[in-house]
Structure 1
Amino acid sequence: MDLSLLDSEETEKMVNYLRSKKHPVYDGCMFPKFPTLLDGPEQHMEAIRNFDSKETDILLCTFPKSGTNWVYETVSMILQGDSQYTQDTKVNRMMETINLDQLSDQPSPRFINTHVAFRHIPKKHVDNGYKIIHVLRNPKDVMVSLYNHCRNDPCAVCIEEDFPGKWDDFIQDMCENKHNFYGGFFNYEREWEKAKQTKAVTNVHTVFYEDLKKNPVAEVERLAAFLNKELSPQLMEDIADKCSFTKLAEATRSGQKGEDMVAKFSENKTNFIFRKGTVGDWKNWFTVAQNEMFDQLLDRELKDSNLQFTYTL
């Protein structure tokens, strides 16, 4: 279905339909209510796992709200060799949201993205050592960003389960991993860490959200090197500037990147993908007690991990 063709009445019906549905579950992971997964996620998830990757494919893997749109646009500019905004959005190349046949006729290099857990990404891509970009963000800011996203995304909110509820309810829910989108943050990142340590996956470029925020030009340079693209210093600066949170958000909202489909389906008719784009906003949301609870969770979940996150800049 081409959502851009729906009129306002049809859009409202679609939003209400999505809000009323339960979240699909597969292999211990809860998913947003994407139409591709609603009638039973097994077939589509198996199709992702068995996807016929090409050597030139580049796969962007992130837990939700870790900077996916930011890195998607940055890499797209690097690949096209200029700082013009793309007229595409990452959802049109997101494996769990689309009919995978849509990717068949795409020219190389195909830049594809997904939030699915490591064990669910295309086996051929992993086994053959094709390029992967993995982006991480500190979990406290992820929780805040995910909450605000879920409140406005009809694919994430669920009336029947009163989810996401108020912030107090949501953070308790996340700590207990009740609504464990893509398996939950800690399971997701630990699985990636183990895959890297055991060499189950090899050709991976790791990006931290906070590093991209702190040193955007240096991170663009690292990405370009990984992608074997030679860019001038001026172009790397231009890409970093055009992909800054403020400018990318404005380009999306103003139509420079095409019609803003997110705003069309949002509960409050705004683009919930772009909210603040800062590091440390969690301090404005976590109470002292919630922060202590979450720190105890961090200690338990990461006690045998080498993962280190930056919580303030």
Structure 2
Amino acid sequence: MSESGNVYQADEITDDDVTRFTDDAGNTVEYVEYDGLHQPLYELKLGAVPDFRSNIKRIQGMACRESDVFICAYPKSGTHWVWEITRMLVKGTTEYEKESKETVTNEFHLPKEFDTIPSPRVFNTHLPFRHLPKDIARRKCKMIFIQRNPKDVAVSFFNHTKNFDYLFYNGDWEHYLKLFLSETIFYQGWFQYTKEWEAVIADNPPIDFLTLYYEDLTKDPLAEIAKIGTFLGVPFDNTFVAAIAEKCSFKNLKTANVSKEYSFSSNQQIDVGLMFRKGKVGDWKNWFTVSQSEEFDNVYRNKMKDSNFQYTFSLV
């Protein structure tokens, strides 16, 4: 159920529609697949968000506005952080948004639910570019793509699944990591997602993209916030940037969001404060064994060998 009170009716689901992955410990993950995306079956049964199988087509046909901004990132890569910063910049305020970012997550709603939102609208999404509105190119919307080193992404996403049971997985870290590396994971695998976006950015020069790195934003938030402001073409000065950096520090954002709740269904309340865990660069070192890190590095080198993206895995 969205904050507007909607419970989304899934399309007909037969057993043939359900894909099941079972890890080495016998934990089974159930998805409904659509065009390379894996949507948790439990999420669909809750009526938590619209069925991807029909809603992706609606999203692709959504009418955009020239002032629309899209924050695009793989889950647990800093989406909320950059969304809040961007919203403050375009609105010219350091006040926190009263509603959660999930109210403007494209895949969590029907496009018509966004019609009454005043401009400029700042959306966020974990979808690949091919599933976003075709109108983005025509309207020349601003696109911000966020990157984060995949070891920290894996750890953060694993802990996220422990807080939100609608996400699908009840196994331990060891077996989750194998799923992550095999790319049988919520939405789609990190490697596939990232390589797709890299190709899109390279092949679509008319579209205005800004690529950010979570680690850069952590290391030098003032410079990165100013970079976003310049990209958006909005007025700002050093004082405003500093104020945004303070309000959007990890500690302050987590505190500001503790009281927010997002209703995913009539029996599923999401405490948005749980979206924030540590926010540290290099926390993966507290989770990966030496052999797990080596295995990850081997997969990474193989799958990302043709990529020009460069990641920072530690700031110390």
TM (norm. structure 2) is 0.84
2:216 to 191, 211, 214: 211
2:77–2:147 Cα contact (<8 Å) kept: yes
What is the aligned partner in structure 1 of residue 190 from structure 2?
185
Inter-partner Cα distance in structure 1 for 2:70 and 2:85:
14
Q: How far 1:99 sits from its partner (Å)?
A: 2.2
Query: Once the two structures are aligned, what percentage of the paired residues are identical?
Result: 35
What is the aligned partner in structure 1 of residue 171 from structure 2?
165
Q: How far 1:277 sits from its partner (Å)?
A: 0.5
- Runs of 5+ consecutive residues of structure 1 not aligned to the other structure: 7-19, 158-162
Greater CA deviation, 100-109 or 270-279? 270-279
What is the aligned partner in structure 2 of residue 146 from structure 1?
157
What is the aligned partner in structure 2 of residue 260 from structure 1?
261
Partner of 1:272, secondary structure, is helix
Per-residue Cα deviation, 1:203-231 (whole angstroms, up to 9, x for no partner): 01111100100010111101111111111
Partner of 1:23, secondary structure, is strand
Pair 1:108-2:119 in alignment: yes
2:62–2:133 Cα contact (<8 Å) kept: yes
1:242–1:248 Cα contact (<8 Å) kept: yes
Q: What is the one-letter code of the residue matched to 1:294?
A: F
TM (norm. structure 1) is 0.85
What is the aligned partner in structure 2 of residue 16 from structure 1?
none
Inter-partner Cα distance in structure 2 for 1:70 and 1:282:
20
Q: What is the one-letter code of the residue matched to 1:299?
A: R
1:37–1:44 Cα contact (<8 Å) kept: no
What is the aligned partner in structure 2 of residue 88 from structure 1?
99
Pairing 1:23-172 to 2, within 5 Å after superposition: 23-32=31-40, 33=43, 40-157=51-168, 163-172=169-178
Q: What is the one-letter code of the residue matched to 2:176?
A: F
What is the aligned partner in structure 1 of residue 204 from structure 2?
199
Tell me how large the CA RMSD over aligned residues is: 2.5
Which one has a larger percent strand, Structure 1 or Structure 2? Answer: 2
Greater CA deviation, 120-129 or 145-154? 120-129
Partner of 1:226, secondary structure, is helix
1:36–1:96 Cα contact (<8 Å) kept: no
1:286 to 260, 285, 288: 288
What is the aligned partner in structure 2 of residue 224 from structure 1?
229
Q: How far 1:5 sits from its partner (Å)?
A: 7.7
What is the aligned partner in structure 1 of residue 13 from structure 2?
none
Over 3 Å counting, the alpha-carbon distance change for 1:46 and 1:215 in structure 2 is same
Pair 1:299-2:301 in alignment: yes
Partner of 2:107, secondary structure, is coil
Greater CA deviation, 238-247 or 41-50? 41-50
Inter-partner Cα distance in structure 2 for 1:125 and 1:24:
27
